[in-house]
Amino acid sequence: MTNPSTSPIAAWWARLRQARQDNPTEVRWLAAMLGLFLLAFFLPVGMPRFDNAVLEGLALLNWYAREHVVLCLIPAFFIAGAIAVFISQDAVMKYLGPAAHKGAAYGVASVSGSILAVCSCTVLPLFGGIYRRGAGLGPAVTFLYAGPAINVLAVVLTAKVLGMDLGVARALGAVSFALVIGGIMHWIYRHEEAARALTQKGFAPGAGQGRSLGETAAFFALQIAVLVFANWAPASAEDSAVWHALFAWKWPLTALAGIGLAGLLIARWRWHWQPLAATAALVALLAFTFPQHPEWAFAAGLLGLTLAATAQPGDGEEWLGQSFGFAKLILPLLLGGVLLAGFLLGRPGHEGIIPSEWVAAAVGGNSLGANLLASLVGAFMYFATLTEVPIVQGLIGAGMGKGPALALLLAGPALSLPSMLVIRSILGTRKTIVYCTLVVVMATFTGLVFGTFFP
């Protein structure tokens, strides 16, 4: 009888384990190549649903690149880079640091995030900027959730389209979520945060500390104005006259904010005026020559700012370097995540590999499973700002309960598969899992309670 320990299979397994110990890198490469080959070999190419899902992923990626990268992400990268260069370490530590007064820290974080009213992906560079600058984990996470979730425009639209009860519940839920999730994250990692606060006491002041508070505030206000006005959503028939007027003047207002920023850099910060003047001339030429494509002029302005920063030794080069660092960290993960999200769930109004009727059928009623599924779908799907409202309206029409609808509204705008990938690169895997779990669990139980009282 053959001894199992000396059988050919056991000997082969022992040699394989020894090879893995002797050449771990080569074994990982072999496993990766084998996995890639098997994936390519068994791809169900030719099946209508798979082919359509691939096209949906590419279509969502194309839409995101056209609508969000130039107008949203690149300005956000510049703002994040500016946070790292022009806001002093002392200021961040005073208001948002691990040792800051908790009431002030969470208040500043929630207000700062909600004022921006950006989507879950646009807020990521800003979150990375304040966290790496020294903000405590709790306030930084509060800012991360508040940016896309506490959106006054989205809350008003929710109340108008889906009903006052859902609108009020979304507003109260988003505000409380931002504060509670930030507080829980701080409590879980309180010992790590205490050690981090000690190591940051010796940080050097920021490069822009010598400038006055008024100049620094104007510098960031003008950049935020460019970001907000360039992304101002179209007005609908029910919106106020002010909204219609702002949308009609969004590009002139964006241009004024850009001119103000250039004037500040030249007059107060002594930047070279030639690159900025040439940029202004090019932007004006494109704006008047191609009025139907204002994004071309906007892109030219961003390019001109980049060239002007390279010509400014010191602050300008450091600002550009920090902004490019955030772009390298975030953009590849973001675009890959958008492609995967489109493949799985499709664009709004379209289907990916997962049939939409499965989702609509599973989130009817107000069961725990329905609310959990709605939270999970919202957490993984990508929502541009304000698009979640018509999507939820369609799902309610297909039989979705009000509880799951609220769960999706609380989890969806704050999370997405692309944002999860980027948050992991900033916070690490463990903290990202804890954060995403908190959002999903709180959204699930909030939806369950709401659905019980408002069936």
CB 370 within 8 Å of CB 404: yes
Q: In whole angstroms, what is the distance from residue 327 CA to residue 314 CA?
A: 20
Tokens of 300: 């030219």
| CA 13 to chain centroid | 45
Q: Please report the pLDDT score of residue 207 as a whole number.
A: 45
Per-domain boundaries in the chain: 339-453
Q: What letter would DSSP give residue 364? A: B
Q: Tell me if residue 357 falls in helix, strand or coil.
A: helix
Q: Please report the pLDDT score of residue 115 as a whole number.
A: 65
Residue 125: which residues within 8 A CB-CB, separation 6 or more?
73, 76, 77, 79, 80, 326, 330
Position 201, amino acid? K
Q: In whole angstroms, what is the distance from residue 276 CA to residue 304 CA?
A: 7
Angle subtended by helix axes 294-310 and 74-86, to nearest 10: 30
Q: In whole angstroms, what is the distance from residue 373 CA to residue 379 CA?
A: 10
Q: In whole angstroms, what is the distance from residue 366 CA to residue 265 CA?
A: 55
Q: Please report the pLDDT score of residue 205 as a whole number.
A: 45
Q: Please report the pLDDT score of residue 203 as a whole number.
A: 43
pLDDT along the chain (455 residues), means of 10: 61 72 75 89 91 91 86 87 79 74 81 68 84 87 86 74 87 90 93 79 47 85 89 74 84 94 92 92 94 93 93 89 87 84 80 80 85 91 74 75 92 88 92 96 95 86
Q: Please report the pLDDT score of residue 386 as a whole number.
A: 65
Give the residue from 355, 362, 345 showing the smallest Cα distance to 412: 345
The alpha-carbon radius of gyration of the chain (Å, integer) is: 25
Q: Tell me if residue 64 falls in helix, strand or coil.
A: helix
Q: Please report the pLDDT score of residue 31 as a whole number.
A: 83
Q: In whole angstroms, what is the distance from residue 118 CA to residue 445 CA?
A: 25
Q: Tell me if residue 269 falls in helix, strand or coil.
A: coil
Position 255, amino acid? A
CB 406 within 8 Å of CB 166: yes
CB 337 within 8 Å of CB 432: no
